[in-house]
Structure 1
């Protein structure tokens, strides 16, 4: 166990690596070589990476892949995905190809409203607080003019401010609930800057308006921050076709559609299943969000909260059979940006947006929603027909062989062998040992 270190952030990268290697690993030289191996050979690109976050010692790479053949609103896309999990890209690509000649994916943005809040405590008269808010409401807009002027020129800005009484949840707790339009920017910095000014205005005006006694401060701001829950920033994606177009080798189109509905109904009724069901959706969503330089943690938090909006965690996707047509869709909150943040800094993020034909924020919302829907369709299709392991384990085969130290020749032999044989940890190990002992 190493001892605490003072001033780590002030060390050079080389000094950080030396300290880390010598104090936290068993083979200092091996650690140094590993970290250096993942530096970008282009020093200017590496400098960009170094300045994204603090205390950088190397880069952590994820595979960057393409899922082609996505027909979205009659336009064809190849979707970039950054993810480490086997079978995700293959599944998305397979779903895209399945729907390509059935009309593809249809999408609609239902809203783009973002949210931020000023949280404060107030111990005085509620009616007087409401009167106070109505009196000073215009001041919030006035005091943020310098922050909002450029956003307003582009058609965005502050949409509304609302005083909310939350004392039924927590004693003396109130909030300013604020809504924003940030256009092609995710808008976190813009929103937080507005909120911090709202806090100052609220406290300043309160100190003048209320007759605070010497020993009691009736209104006190606790904090101001955007919310990653954006239930009015919603996108819908769907696919549909005639039942007879769903015929599978194992099932008739009718039976396949019925089993798909049953699978979704189970995810709506059973939380244990819903979590895994929605995790599969997020495989597709996160991979595109990450590839396009957006905040996948914020997206995850907001979407999972939305999945719980009825009070129980449930499926994010829906399906129906009506008049001989199978319909499958998703509605999710997505706060994304195509300007600001990493979008103009990270070389592969810029490339991802170029591959997607330089979408605006609304177009990116639609593409990301489609990736999630495709992923869920592919997973459910496997589950109700051949089972999830057949395809997943074949995709995972190379990872298993690499873990077992197989040579390139052995990999080629075993990939061919397992085209017609079940892939399990035991069967792969046994097949590799058989090759190595002959």
Structure 2
């Protein structure tokens, strides 16, 4: 590693270079044989638009495009949606579309927001005794509220703001370690900047309080702020999506499995994911395939959503499936409960033109409606994956897309794609096998 660093050199002030200079440095030091064209290939046609993209991050040298697809036929709470999805994984959009169409004639998806509170934390060291917190908190809360009124007023006018403060002692970290756990409402915004701004103002006022409050004893004035930051753990910002249908109507055409047997196998598959962590991780990843694609398409933070979902899946102390299945009175019930902290104003929702377009496609939903849409898409994705697993197997759909990816890598023409797809119908797909077939096809030999 040291030799590699020495050979390629180091650089100071990389961020001060313009984009072309950064590319030149990379080409010289790390990419011999490559050209500027490979960086420019996916840039926006408009220079102004490309500048918008470049400003989303730092040290940019290129843009990285991802497919923007749409899953039609979603019926959610009686409203029809075409759901925008951004994902690079084969068959995700196709699976969501198939599942949406299946449930379209079976009542669609129902979804409801259970709660919308978000959390922030202020950690500090304090010399006072833990038992003094109850007596001191009312004055501290009043001062914090007063110090941040100018920040919170507009959010409160939109139905948000600070919902409450809990003063916690963290003796396992340090005998003098404490936390203010603050509950927030953020309306239609995801709220990260608002929450962090309030918390940092709290930190400043906390230090003032420790130095000036007459309620404090002299020995209690020693206070050190450690950090102030929102929490992406959002167990009180939760949405539930569900579908249900009489078992007799749960037919799966072409599967070779009747409705009752399909439902029996499906319920067992969900139960396995509830009990077995190895399966639960893959099960929940499938749910997040759908949710993340909507989150990305609408300019929200998929990393925060992922973290919150997996923490929620482990809230009992054991990682379990996020979805549940039950049979009652010959009716199939399948539901998903998941934390989703989403916004439809602020952030990239307006800045990124495709995120803005995605929200237009959805009819400009508020945050709660978007939570319902994303959760329903996650449930649809989960249903489609389990339906395949317990009937034809997951590979049938995946291999169709895998074949197309192989054909793309081999630069197959449209006629070659059609003939190859027909040839491999019912056959095992491999890169070597597809290459051999294409070679024979291109040589004009007899293929069969």
Structures share a fold, TM > 0.5? yes
Structure 1 position 90, deviation (Å) = 0.4
| Structure-1 separation of matches of 2:97 and 2:161 | 38
**Does 2:269 match 1:263?**
yes
Distance verdict in 2 for CA 1:169–1:262, change over 3 Å: farther
Structure 1 spans left out of the alignment, 5+ residues: none
Q: Which residue of 1 aligns with 2:62?
A: 58
Count of matched residue pairs: 434
Partner SS for 2:335:
strand
Structure 1 position 390, deviation (Å) = 0.8
* Farther off after superposition, 141-150 or 405-414: 405-414
Residues 413-438 of structure 1 deviation map (CA, whole Å, 9 limit, x = unaligned): 11222334333445434433432442
**Does 2:198 match 1:198?**
no
Alignment partner of 2:83 out of 40, 63, 79 = 79
**Does 2:423 match 1:417?**
yes
Q: Which residue of 2 aligns with 1:239?
A: 243
Structure 2 spans left out of the alignment, 5+ residues: none
Structure 1 position 124, deviation (Å) = 3.0
Structure 1 position 344, deviation (Å) = 1.2
Q: Which residue of 2 aligns with 1:118?
A: 122
Q: Which residue of 1 aligns with 2:257?
A: 251
| Structure-2 separation of matches of 1:418 and 1:11 | 50
Structure 1 position 125, deviation (Å) = 1.4
| Structure-1 separation of matches of 2:434 and 2:127 | 67
| Structure-1 separation of matches of 2:217 and 2:434 | 77
Kept after mapping to 2: 8 A contact 1:390/1:423: no
The 5 Å alignment of 1:172-183 reads 172-183=176-187
| Structure-2 separation of matches of 1:406 and 1:26 | 29
**Does 2:370 match 1:392?**
no
Partner SS for 1:311:
coil
* Farther off after superposition, 83-92 or 417-426: 417-426
Residues 259-279 of structure 1 deviation map (CA, whole Å, 9 limit, x = unaligned): 111111111111111111111
Partner SS for 2:116:
coil
Alignment partner of 2:151 out of 137, 147, 150 = 147
* Farther off after superposition, 94-103 or 240-249: 240-249
Kept after mapping to 2: 8 A contact 1:87/1:396: no
TM-score by length of 1: 0.95
Residues 131-177 of structure 1 deviation map (CA, whole Å, 9 limit, x = unaligned): 22233211111000110111111121111111112224654321101
| Structure-2 separation of matches of 1:319 and 1:138 | 46
| Structure-1 separation of matches of 2:314 and 2:176 | 26
Alignment partner of 2:340 out of 334, 344, 366 = 334
Q: Which residue of 2 aligns with 1:296?
A: 302
Kept after mapping to 1: 8 A contact 2:133/2:167: no
Q: Which residue of 2 aligns with 1:373?
A: 379
| Structure-2 separation of matches of 1:405 and 1:348 | 28
Distance verdict in 2 for CA 1:219–1:130, change over 3 Å: farther
| Structure-2 separation of matches of 1:323 and 1:428 | 49
Q: Which residue of 2 aligns with 1:187?
A: 191
* Farther off after superposition, 169-178 or 159-168: 169-178
CA RMSD, Structure 1 to Structure 2 (Å): 1.6
Kept after mapping to 1: 8 A contact 2:210/2:221: no
TM-score by length of 2: 0.93
Kept after mapping to 2: 8 A contact 1:236/1:331: yes
Structure 1 position 411, deviation (Å) = 1.8
